A and B are shown apart, each in its own frame.
Chain A
């Protein structure tokens, strides 16, 4: 049993390494313990469901909406108070909420590193110019491809890429 020290210290290191993401997240949350400043819609007082439900289960509700609209051609949502809404992220949710000042802020605070809804779905406010942010920056001379590339690959999203890749690396452009 001479090895006991080694075994236990090895185990401790192992457990520490294994759980380090949690400690890291905790430490970060502590550093930024100020809750996010969410901007609520000015023209509405009531969401499609009570706040507590939305806070806990908006993701599940969006998934259900998605299945209903895409796979069952069912677009009508009857809310708990009898009001009727269209099942649409862009029209209904973003019709009131601001993606940047509401969705993004809370997701950033809770460390939910971007659900990839926005790879495809659009934020109408952001598109005021009628142009995708990607196309805009592409025209401005460079396109930060890494950002959107990484969002597709969940394992690697934790690091925040800053390197700018020249546009030519996009395979679609080289003949």
Chain B
């Protein structure tokens, strides 16, 4: 058989495509095998899920307090960018009416104006951000339910920011380094063009420590632990008081509770 130049070019193009397809198929198979299993409520032993309960009654005693946020910034090299369009936020204060729009009333307005209401990533049971990420740069860790991020892999498509109903994610619109006052050499900074968010201090948990915000709060307002263990601090705190979660009706299963 005679192979013309054109045939040769076509053939080589096709084989490149085929090689790519095989690789994609194999990786898809691997991805399918490690698919996310339901965390809880599907029979068997409950899966571990880390959760947080923030006692707003204690926060209300300390108007203007932002110690937890400072601790987080220092631990994770979160830049302080003045321009609100490019801000990077892991844990931050927001007005009650914006955090819980449906619970808003004249009373909440009176009680909550000016007092801190910390919000952060909810490490959801069914995280919308994980569902949409095209690269697996964000995923839900099966051991403890933390919604993790891999900044090496993120392509900066921002789909996760679009999908998160809590605006818990920030994009690095500018190089963050010049905006970090004191750098913690133990934790990486981020590069321009990737998305970041709270990681429940996965790196501190690995070293046997509590999250930075939990440790920093002088009023012990933040309880943290495994929500499938009834004796964990978070379960004890929640069983003693009434609490709210942000937009539970969306079915995302947020794991940050606010004790009002």
Contact = CB atoms under 8 A, between A and B. Distances in A.
Interface of A: 66, 70-71, 73, 75, 90-91, 116, 119-124, 127, 130-132, 134-135, 138, 143, 145, 148-149, 152, 170-175
Given A73-B202, A122-B189, A145 B150 contact: no
A60 B186 CA distance: 22
B53 to A, nearest CB: 24
A170 B192 CA distance: 12
B182 A122 contact: no
24 contacts: A70-B148, A73-B141, A75-B206, A119-B192, A120-B188, A123-B185, A131-B182, A132-B180, A134-B177, A134-B178, A135-B177, A135-B178, A135-B179, A138-B178, A143-B178, A145-B175, A149-B192, A152-B191, A152-B192, A171-B86, A171-B174, A172-B83, A172-B174, A173-B83
Given A172-B173, A173-B83, A120 B178 contact: no
B122 to A, nearest CB: 20
Nearest to A90: B185
A122 B183 contact: yes
Contacts of A119: 189, 191-192
A138 B183 CA distance: 15
Contact of A127 (B173, B179, B185, B190): B185
Contacts of A145: 175
A103 to B, nearest CB: 15
A172 B186 contact: no
Given A119-B189, A130-B183, A172-B82, 10 more contacts: A71-B139, A91-B186, A120-B191, A127-B183, A127-B185, A130-B182, A138-B178, A149-B175, A152-B191, A172-B83
A68 B182 CA distance: 28
A66 B152 contact: yes
B151 interface: yes
Minimum-distance CB pairs A-B, first 7: A172-B174, A120-B188, A119-B191, A124-B185, A122-B185, A134-B177, A134-B178
Contact of B81 (A127, A148, A172, A174): A172
B72 to A, nearest CB: 18
B143 interface: yes
Interface string B65-93: 00000000000000001110010000000
A172 B191 contact: no
Which one of B150, B151, B179 has the highest number of Cβ atoms from chain A below 10 Å of its Cβ?
A: B179
Contacts of B179: 135, 172
A66 B150 CA distance: 9
A154 B145 CA distance: 36
Contacts of A173: 82-83
B175 A73 contact: no
B193 interface: yes
B189 A120 contact: yes
A116 B183 contact: no
B193 A152 contact: yes
B181 interface: yes
